[in-house]
């Protein structure tokens, strides 16, 4: 890529979340390089993951505020849930948005792919979903 082309382009990185009814923009930044935009998105992914699924031993979590939850599919607080046998659209699939966000933030392969798309002038988007909501990370080049 031509080095002068890289310095003349700016990038917008945005994060958002939502559900079936609405979406919310959670943050955004404009940067002079695609690497800075992607670095910001990686921090956002980790921040979302930690907010959705905090480490119970993190220093900011008060003692005994969090604890593991009961046993497996069909169990709620250790008791069998009345709808455990019902067929649900997500039956068999257990989406885990915090785990997906952490995996994305640590994936060098995915970041290389994003950098290549941005170098070609194309946007890049990653969306993690769980049973009730989605969390999106988008970076795109600004027009010249």
Q: Is 136 contained in some domain? A: yes
Structural domain of residue 138, as residue ranges? Answer: 1-57+113-144
DSSP H helices, the chain, are 3-7, 34-52, 97-105, 108-119
Q: Is 94 contained in some domain? A: no
Q: Is 125 contained in some domain? A: yes
Q: Is 47 contained in some domain? A: yes
Q: Is 127 contained in some domain? A: yes
Q: Is 12 contained in some domain? A: yes
Q: What is the arithmetic mean of pLDDT over 93-107?
A: 87
Of 13 and 1, the structure prediction assigns the larger pLDDT to 13
pLDDT at residue 69 in the model: 64
pLDDT of 103 over the 90 cut: yes
Of 13-22, 50-59, 113-122, the range with the lowest mean pLDDT is 50-59
| pLDDT tens digits, one per residue of 30-73 | 999 999 999 999 999 999 998 888 876 677 777 777 666 654 44
Q: Find the helix or strand (DSSP H, E) in which 131 lies.
A: none
Sheet of 124-129, strands arranged across: 23-31, 11-18, 134-141, 124-129
pLDDT at residue 54 in the model: 81
Q: Is 104 contained in some domain? A: no
pLDDT of 86 over the 80 cut: no
Prediction pTM value: 0.69
Q: Is 77 contained in some domain? A: no
pLDDT of 91 over the 90 cut: no
Residue carrying the six token digits 């885990």: 96
How many structural domains compose the chain? 1
Residues 6+ apart with CB under 8 A from 107: none
């Amino acid at each position: 890529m031509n080095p002068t082309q890289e310095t003349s382009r700016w990038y917008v990185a945005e994060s958002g979340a939502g559900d079936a009814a609405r979406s919310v923009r959670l943050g955004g930044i404009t940067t002079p390089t695609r690497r800075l935009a992607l670095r910001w998105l990686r921090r956002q992914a980790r921040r979302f993951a930690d907010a959705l699924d905090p480490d119970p031993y993190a220093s900011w979590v008060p003692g005994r505020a969090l604890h593991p939850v009961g046993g497996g599919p069909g169990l709620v607080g250790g008791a069998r849930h009345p709808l455990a046998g019902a067929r649900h659209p997500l039956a068999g699939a257990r989406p885990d948005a915090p785990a997906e966000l952490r995996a994305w933030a640590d994936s060098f392969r995915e970041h290389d792919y994003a950098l290549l798309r941005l170098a070609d002038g194309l946007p890049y988007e990653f969306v993690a979903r769980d049973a009730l909501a989605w969390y999106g990370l988008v970076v795109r080049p600004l027009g010249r």
